[in-house]
Amino acid sequence: MGSVTRIILQRLALGLLTLFIVSIVIFIAVNLLPGDFAEAILGQGATPEAVASIREGLGLDKPPITRYFDWLGGAIQGDLGSSFAQANFASFTGSDAASGTTVAEQIAPRFKNTLFLAGVTAAIAVPVSIFLGVLAALYRNSIFDRATNILTLSSISSPDFFLAYVLILFLSVLNPLLPSLSNIYDGMDFSERLVKSLLPALTLTLAVTAQMMRMTRAAIINLLASPYIEMARLKGISPMRVIVTHALPNALAPIITVIALNLAYLITGVVVVEVVFVYPGIGQLFVDSVKIRDIPVVQACCLIFAAAYILLNLSADVLSILSNPRLRHPK
């Protein structure tokens, strides 16, 4: 087995172990949430018998360890359970399981919307960040470099909801260029969906551009003192071509890592942005489910967030390994 294959398999095994540990933390944390779904759905006037019947029908009367392994076993098979909020309580008889909308049916369209938003944001943020990073490295210590650093650091230092409201003020209220509410629905054509997603996408772009831009700048500047860069300059190659052709390909490993981390944020950190713009994504569903203590949906959202974050980190590790010639061609 080659060294690259062995390292990749080790990363995959570590990722699965991490996801397993995270699933335990998710289950414990979600079940420590204050309040009880049965009491919340029945109201203050609920009798203990009615609450016990609902809990039995939902399986909440089982020991925590049993509920965890039931949930984990179902998740491994692709069954995330049924939503408490969509359950047919009238059909509960004794210990019958809750019937209603499955968690997967609820999450699937929302997750698709979140992926669309993340894709639009990445299509804007990644090229802009790399372009600004290359220019900042080319004109380092210039007015452009300093202004770019100030603007990007200011955006990343501001809370997401603040950036969102500033963009709404300038692009929706004072200048009605983009809609302030992202009322996405199934069947909407691509152009209309894109327009309604632009404002939250721009908000997320401001939140993630700084790290990618600064990492690109730092990685390129670190390589500019290398002997092969000096040789390229002595040959009379233009500074822009030196950076793009010679420096940038060798700076890909750290840039890929920071891009992957920010792409993970676009999926796991969209909760605030989706709530502000009423965007029907998985973040909005997560917040709504926490409010009503819909435990299966909350657990599934957390697990998806964790899996996406771990998967993108693993992808960054693998791409960094593949971009390292010393690992691809060991002596």
% the chain with pLDDT above 70: 88
Tokens of 206: 């401001």
Q: In the prediction, which pLDDT does 330 show?
A: 54
Least confident range from 50-54, 107-111, 206-210, 241-245: namely: 50-54
Say what the pLDDT of residue 98 is: 46
- Assign 2 a pLDDT band (cuts: 50, 70, 90): low
pLDDT number for residue 327: 57
pTM (two decimals): 0.82
Question: Strand 100-102 to strand 82-87: parallel, antiparallel, or no bridges (unpaired)?
Answer: antiparallel
22-30 mean pLDDT: 90
Averaged over 190-202, what is the pLDDT?
A: 90
Crossing angle of helices 64-76 and 3-31, rounded to 10°: 140
The number of beta carbons lying within 10 Å of the beta carbon of residue 240 is 11
Write out the two tokens for 308: 């996406």
Q: What's the whole-number mean pLDDT along residues 226-241? A: 81
Structure tokens at 64: 């925590």
pLDDT band at 8 (very low <50, low <70, confident <90, very high): confident
Q: Which of 66, 6, 58 is nearest to 297 (CA)?
A: 58
Token digits of residue 109: 């369209």
What average pLDDT does the structure give for the chain?
82
Which CA distances in Å does 270 have to 132, 201, 215?
Answer: 24, 10, 22
Mean pLDDT of all residues in 196-220: 89
pLDDT category of residue 17 using cuts at 50, 70 and 90: very high
How do the domains of the chain map onto residue ranges? 3-103, 105-291
In this predicted structure, what is the pLDDT of residue 44?
A: 64
97-143 pLDDT tens trace? 445 578 888 898 899 999 999 999 999 999 999 999 888 888 888 89
The CATH architecture that domain 105-291 belongs to is: Orthogonal Bundle (1.10)
94: confidence class by pLDDT, cuts 50, 70, 90: very low
* Per-range mean pLDDT, top range of 54-63, 91-100, 261-270: 261-270
